[in-house]
Chain A
């Protein structure tokens, strides 16, 4: 895929991507609200087309928004990367807004694995890392379930090993 989705952060490590299904899942999740709205707007516009012709603008706007957000979401999903380094986990995401988070294993308090209903249809899960700081926003969405469990166990083990030195 196109490499330019990744901005460089100065750390020379290979980044793992999240599952390609994640983008599809995000699009589907946004469609759950957009499609009924679109249909309702379209039906209204067709019914009242004689009286208020500008009603057509609404479904056009919703359609445009849906297309734009689909493109953005798909690109965003490809831009998420994470790297398990020797002593810390590096996560980066964002195309417009570049964000990179580094969480040392020794600082991990606990690791969450979440899977919502749509996640489960696609066999995906979200891994969330917690430290003592509420500001730490380290989530890796859209991992295949097995990979998420492996990552959780691996992080737990690494956290334990690093904490043993305390």
Chain B
């Protein structure tokens, strides 16, 4: 797949895949609409378009309705206010307008008729708009169409769908509606958001489609061109196998190299976990857990707890699995306090306070001219602080549930969002503790993911949690650290979190694993040189960073992209060198900084070798599993012939 752009292009043309936003969004003329869709598919499948909820156009145009209502209310209020003022001041009420209306009954009729006409027209337009809104699912893709005058048809290929989120904004939530957001790898604009459905229908559809996406990716990955394997979700099966074996067969073979690559970068079935491959030692523990859970029957909270604690044994945690697999719940008050204690909140608050104090002082000194500009300066600050605070509040009620599709997260105070943490696509994890969180012992956990549209807000593993919760989430997101006997994973992570202040009884052994920066680096890192260090386990690189705002980065060896050694003139004078470990875009940017030059060079060469071996091992296990599976399936075309050029 690497460097095969021309081939990839023809492949895309053949499958007529239009994954990028610009192409995905196309205006289709009404008359030729169905023909185009047919051509897109290349199969004469009957099209079943499902309608969205009838209230959709009303919800969407509600902003306009509210605007009209407010304008009307404002006008009426003016009239009333004038009347009241006139009465209060003893004057006769100004009734010229009312008299005029009284004199012309036709005018009343006209106004009322006009209002009714507008309402009728709106209703009719809404109805017509609703009639053309719809979605359709076939074996290849999800289609969403809308628009009365300019038709829009959006298409998301099932094998490109990264995740399906159920979103409920405030108003739809009141009315019991939800929208489904399909995250397609591609720009931020390439999402399809299907709105609105009743919440129950949205949940059903989401489960059906998740199963379909998973099945689709599994068949592609395993290289089977045959019929879909039986997927979960009875009602969906009829819809989903519409395209028939001929079309999907050709496509599956073509998409294969891509899917194979995807197995590593944009891992298949990201919304759930790809179960076509058995447990690998270098999979993150969460992935292994979901594989185990998938093999079990439903209603498994008891067994889930057992598996969870067994897999997390290196961390010495005992986690209880609550109702519906709930393992973590972050209460509202903790999110509020934590977000108030974040440095950015404190700084903006301090700025606002200082400006206000200066303003008061100036006022007291009688300089009134400075007041307005200061107000203008301080208002955006307040708004910014407020919006940051509101964004943090979005993580209130952060609930993590353990399910067979991985870790499902619900969060939000006023509007609820659900998402699945794509454990098998996590490339790196970091723990973060702002200065003032220390008294509470709180930590935040974030991750890097292999995805084109990297959005920082959605990369939260845990918005705020105590030590055990942080260990649990980090443990789930990372592979087994594979430490020697004597040092527990929790001891290591604690040493990484609290450096030499770790209260763990075994801390000395863990501290011995860390490679600190040499003394000569104190000129470059006056505060942090004592804390910064890196440690290596069989499967992980652990970086200890940050003197005031503590930070710990974790990078699994199998996820490293490339390495870079760097030494500037000043560093050369001090005999130092740095190595950047390249991960995908996200909050984690791991670097082994300012080690002695020989150590940095040795780390560079050895880590390249180490990650290569880890990757090789990981691939070998996967390959064994895949060939084992391919042997079971009687008919598997050899895609290699098509790949060679």
State the A residues within 8 Å of B (CB): 7-11, 87-88, 96-111, 131-138, 152-153, 155-156, 159-160, 163-166
Which residue on B lies nearest to A89, using beta carbons?
Answer: B562
Cα distance A107–B615 when bound, in Å? 10
Q: Is the CB of B3 within 8 A of A156?
A: yes
Q: Which of chain B's residues have a CB closer than 8 A to the CB of A159?
A: 1-3
Closest 7 CB pairs of A and B: A159-B2, A156-B3, A133-B561, A133-B582, A111-B3, A108-B2, A165-B619
Q: Is the CB of A133 within 8 A of B585?
A: yes
Which residue on B lies nearest to A135, using beta carbons?
Answer: B582
Q: Is the CB of B604 within 8 A of A10?
A: yes
Q: Is the CB of A97 within 8 A of B566?
A: yes
Q: Which of chain A's residues have a CB closer than 8 A to the CB of B563?
A: 101-102
Given A98-B572, A133-B583, A166-B260, A155 contacting B562 (CB threshold 8 A) = no
Q: Which of chain B's residues have a CB closer than 8 A to the CB of A132?
A: 265, 427, 450, 561, 584
Given A133-B583, A166-B619, A166-B623, A110 contacting B3 (CB threshold 8 A) = yes
Q: Is the CB of A9 within 8 A of B565?
A: yes
A37 smallest CB distance to B (angstroms): 28
Which residue on A lies nearest to B8, using beta carbons?
Answer: A110
B162 smallest CB distance to A (angstroms): 14
Interchain CB contact (< 8 A) of B616 among A10, A108, A137, A165? A165
Q: Is the CB of B584 within 8 A of A133?
A: yes
Q: Is the CB of A100 within 8 A of B582?
A: no
Q: Is the CB of B565 within 8 A of A163?
A: no
Given A87-B612, A96-B568, A135-B580, A111 contacting B2 (CB threshold 8 A) = yes
B583 smallest CB distance to A (angstroms): 6
Q: Which of chain A's residues have a CB closer than 8 A to the CB of B577?
A: 98
Cα distance A99–B600 when bound, in Å? 12
Tell me which residues from 545 to 603 in chain B have a Cβ below 8 Å from any Cβ of chain A: 561-569, 572, 577, 580, 582-585, 589, 601-602
29 contacts between A and B (CB under 8 A): A87-B612, A88-B612, A100-B564, A100-B565, A102-B562, A102-B563, A102-B608, A103-B561, A105-B2, A106-B612, A109-B1, A109-B2, A132-B265, A132-B427, A132-B584, A133-B561, A133-B582, A133-B584, A135-B561, A135-B562, A135-B564, A135-B580, A135-B583, A159-B3, A165-B619, A166-B260, A166-B264, A166-B619, A166-B623
Q: Is B369's beta carbon under 8 Å from chain A?
A: no
B263 smallest CB distance to A (angstroms): 5
Q: Is B620's beta carbon under 8 Å from chain A?
A: yes
Q: Which of chain B's residues have a CB closer than 8 A to the CB of A98?
A: 565-568, 572, 577
Tell me which residues from 222 to 265 in chain B have a Cβ below 8 Å from any Cβ of chain A: 257, 260-261, 263-265
Q: Is the CB of B3 within 8 A of A155?
A: yes
Interface range on chain B: under 10, 10 to 19, 20 to 34, or 35 or more?
35 or more
Interchain CB contact (< 8 A) of A166 among B565, B567, B580, B622? B622
Given A102-B608, A166-B264, A97 contacting B568 (CB threshold 8 A) = yes
Q: Is B4's beta carbon under 8 Å from chain A?
A: yes
Q: Which of chain B's residues have a CB closer than 8 A to the CB of A105?
A: 2
A49 smallest CB distance to B (angstroms): 39
Q: Is the CB of B261 within 8 A of A166?
A: yes
Cα distance A155–B4 when bound, in Å? 11
Q: Is the CB of B602 within 8 A of A10?
A: yes
Cα distance A159–B257 when bound, in Å? 11
Q: Is the CB of A110 within 8 A of B561?
A: no
Interchain CB contact (< 8 A) of B611 among A104, A111, A156, A160? A104
Given A110-B2, A159-B1, A165-B623, A9 contacting B568 (CB threshold 8 A) = no
Cα distance A29–B276 when bound, in Å? 54
Contact string against A for B residues 100-120, beta-carbon threshold 8 Å, 1 for contact and 0 otherwise = 000000000000000000000
Contact string against A for B residues 142-177, beta-carbon threshold 8 Å, 1 for contact and 0 otherwise = 000000000000000000000000000000000000
Which residue on A lies nearest to B572, using beta carbons?
Answer: A98
Q: Which of chain A's residues have a CB closer than 8 A to the CB of B485?
A: none
Contact string against A for B residues 456-493, beta-carbon threshold 8 Å, 1 for contact and 0 otherwise = 00000000000000000000000000000000000000
Cα distance A96–B561 when bound, in Å? 26
Q: Which of chain B's residues have a CB closer than 8 A to the CB of A138?
A: 562
Interchain CB contact (< 8 A) of B564 among A96, A101, A107, A160? A101
A54 smallest CB distance to B (angstroms): 32
Q: Is the CB of A136 within 8 A of B643?
A: no
- Given A98-B566, A101-B563, A107-B562, 11 other A-B residues pairs in contact with their CB atoms under 8 A: A88-B612, A98-B567, A110-B2, A132-B427, A133-B582, A135-B562, A138-B562, A155-B2, A159-B1, A160-B4, A164-B260
